[in-house]
Amino acid sequence: MDLTLNNLISDVSKLVSLPEICLKVTTMVEDPDASIDDIGKVISQDPSLTVKILKMSNSAMYGFASEVDTVPRAITLLGTRHIRDLVLATSAFDTFKGISNSLMTMEDFWYHSILCGLAANQLTKLCGLRNGDGLFVGGLLHDIGQLILFNRLPEQSQQAILLTMEGQEEYEMHEAENKVIGFNHMQVGQILAENWNLPPYLQYCIGYHHKPELSPDFKQEVSIIHIANTIAVLAELNSADIELGPGVDDYAWQQTGLDASIFPRVIEEINAEYAEIEALLNM
């Protein structure tokens, strides 16, 4: 199958779309006239989503001292944008569960994605990013473009994977995709995020997570996802040895003020949180 990037996205957009409630919440968060109660009422129209949001708010990822028992309470504690991100995360997870492929199990895909989201959340706290609201959803969705390529262009994706494993030149996955397909999973994911009207910072986290220095904006957020991706790979390998994972650009270290000494601590934290968050997303 020989598809251009735009044709691929048009094709995929017919297959996957976010639920109406998710799109409505995303719009309301940017509306100054929409109150916390208004947003809470919309979320509460979906009992399953409501339960997920409340359970996520009460998870170890946030560690509130008292129980969060209503959606308005969750919005008050976490903020409207953070609640929007949790709605996006749970909705996108459900939406993409049905996108199968022959190159990677969905368990492996979401294992890496959840670990990346948890790592991004930890890094946000460590570098003191103001107004970051945690970057869990950025990490969770950073590779959605890869999942689409695996599903729609399996033969070319397989060739790209092989290119990263053999030959004299060392290719990262996005470089191999460029060579074999003509575009890469970052571009696919970013255009899909734009079509969904996701917040700009998420569009850039998805579209530039391997090249944070090229991001037009939100460079610190994108750098966090870049580092979180490496941490997720190392956590999968049960190692904190940076030499075993994808390299971290010096630019990302500069943007965050962090260094590799934080890897063991973050890996320990995300391994402890993973089972609970994975269970909540799979409810």
Question: Which of residues 96, 127, 143 is at a domain's end?
Answer: 96
DSSP secondary structure string for all residues of 35-87? -HHHHHHHHHTSHHHHHHHHHHHTSTTT--SS---SHHHHHHHH-HHHHHHHH
Query: pLDDT value at position 1?
Result: 45
144 and 181 share one domain: yes
12 inside domain: no
What are the percentages of helix, strand and coil residues in the chain, rounded to 5?
A: 70, 0, 30
Q: Mind listing the pLDDT tens digit of every residue in the chain (283 residues)? A: 456 787 887 777 666 788 899 989 989 998 999 999 999 999 999 999 999 999 988 988 888 888 999 999 999 988 898 899 889 988 888 888 777 788 888 899 999 999 999 999 999 999 888 766 668 999 999 999 998 899 889 999 999 999 888 765 678 899 999 999 999 999 999 998 988 888 899 999 999 999 999 999 999 999 999 999 999 999 999 998 888 888 899 999 999 999 999 999 999 999 999 999 999 888 7
231 and 108 share one domain: yes
141 and 207 share one domain: yes
Nearest to 16 by CA among 84, 88, 86, 92: 92
User: What range does the domain containing 27 cover?
Assistant: 19-96
Question: Which of residues 67, 96, 125 is at a domain's end?
Answer: 96
205 and 66 share one domain: no
80 and 210 share one domain: no
Q: Considering its fold, how many domains does the chain have in total?
A: 2
Query: pLDDT value at position 196?
Result: 86
258 inside domain: yes
Measure the CA–CA gap between 229 and 120, rounded to whole angstroms.
8
Contact 123, 143 (CB under 8 A): no
82 and 108 share one domain: no
211 inside domain: yes
Domain CATH code at residue 214: 1.10.3210.10
